[in-house]
Amino acid sequence: MKFEKYKFIPVLNENLARLGFKRPTDIQYKCIPPVLKGEDVLAIAQTGTGKTAAFAIPLTQLMSIDYRPLEPGGIRCLVMVPTHELAMQVAGVFKEVATGTGLKVVGLYGGVEQDPQIAHLKNGVDVLVATPGRMFDLAAQGHLSFKSVQILVLDEADHMLEKGFYGDMQELVKRIPRKRQTLFFSATIDERIKDLAYGLVKHAVRIQISPKDPVSKNVDHSVIYVEMDDKRFFLERIIKDHPDDKILVFVRTKVRAERVVKAMERVGLKAEAIHGDLAQKDRSLVMDRFRSGNNKVLVATDVSARGIDIAEVSYVINYDLPDEAENYVHRVGRTGRGTSRGVAVSFCSTEEKERLREIEQYLDKPVKVLEMDPADYEATVDLSGDAVHDWRSVVDELIDLEEGKQKGKRSKGKKSARKK
């Protein structure tokens, strides 16, 4: 079925054609009808399958044909997201889809001056895409009202309902009308989170796409065994072998992100880091340079793993394996978006093999191993411009490894406590 077959208002059809939307993806095809009917939806689909458009398109249609005046500080549709970058991205999709409809879309997040945001909210908004912190802050100051919320969307719902956000979500639900439409969208969701989700909705339509394999079929993902001290040499080799490709590199901590960037700079390779310690303005500039291709290598912590849609990322490199197995899915899903193909390669050191086993248990299948001839391994290290006795980097790697072990112990302790 083509989008032009839906009975959308003309301006929405024009926008979809301009944006290159021809046929709905599986998640869009299954979500659009119940959303248009005003039903609650719990949707689970792989990353890169078009989940944002699956709710942005039908909600734009719904609000356009049932336009209502806005009260000062009022909101018609509230979209909750976990990160600043995702708030900007989702708001951008809504603005593109809703061009010419008269709907007012605002992205609300911290790390930037609040006065311009307050000015945008003054006369009310049709779609507010927000992170919890800034939203509740402005609500406490009297700049936001939840009385007119008709639609609540939780994007990356599993993350929004985790311990750190669930209290915020409970508080929000108390403050918005009980008679509303609620939509949940995520790439992963476990039984505990599903139970929490069903506690917030009534008779939700459950939609699940490709549940047996959470990694998109467009992503060729594999693992290569690389010792901790040697990872930078292998990353250098990949970057040099693919100078024209966008490469997204994931590391465990903010400190390691900066160290990996410096390691690449030592061998004459340009890279930039993005993590939570950067000011929002700087994070936006880094993302813009990566999107435009001005910078080809972005080193990121998991703050950038969820929901960020960056066009034409050819390679994802898990420089460090993630602490949480499900984050593997979110990371590798940054490539192979839509109909594009992508490659994801994970570096696994001896110390990380337990994490790899946890990832394989989560996927319910082994990750393909890229075998490397010992001579080729040694050549990769020896031919690096950074292969001279760089004792400082070795010490830094050992410190990071010890910190990772301590963090892993704390994480396992918390999991054991939850089980009790």
CA angle 194, 200, 204 (to 5 degrees): 70
Name the DSSP class of 416. Answer: H
Nearest alpha carbon to residue 79 among 164, 150, 5, 166? 150
Strand order across the beta sheet in which 342-348 lies: 272-274, 297-300, 246-250, 313-318, 342-348, 219-225, 368-369
Nearest alpha carbon to residue 48 among 326, 296, 313, 361? 313
pLDDT digits (tens, 9 = 90+) for 251-293: 999 999 999 999 999 999 999 999 878 887 888 899 899 999 9
The whole-number pLDDT of residue 304 equals 63
Q: How far apart are CA 219 and CA 280, in angstroms?
A: 30
C-alpha to C-alpha distances, 107 to 114, 120, 259, 310, 419, nearest whole angstrom: 12, 10, 32, 18, 37
CA 384 to chain centre: 33
The helix or strand, by DSSP H or E, that contains position 205, with its residue range, turns out to be strand 205-208
Nearest alpha carbon to residue 12 among 55, 49, 64? 64
Residue 62 has pLDDT above 50, yes or no: yes
Weakest mean pLDDT among 79-83, 127-131, 350-354? 79-83
- The pTM assigned to this predicted structure is 0.70
Confidence class for position 189, pLDDT limits 50, 70, 90: confident
Q: How far apart are CA 72 and CA 276, in angstroms?
A: 33
Contact call for residues 248 and 313 (beta carbons, < 8 A): yes
Q: How far apart are CA 326 and CA 157, in angstroms?
A: 13
The whole-number pLDDT of residue 76 equals 96
Domains of the chain as residue ranges with CATH:
3-208 (3.40.50.300), 219-402 (3.40.50.300)
Residue written as tokens 């010419």?
100
Higher-pLDDT residue of 173, 314: 314
Burial 19-52 (b: 16+ CB within 10 A, else e): eebeebbebbebbbebbbeebbbbbbbbbbbbbb
Contact call for residues 139 and 169 (beta carbons, < 8 A): no
> What are the residues facing 205 on neighbouring strands?
41
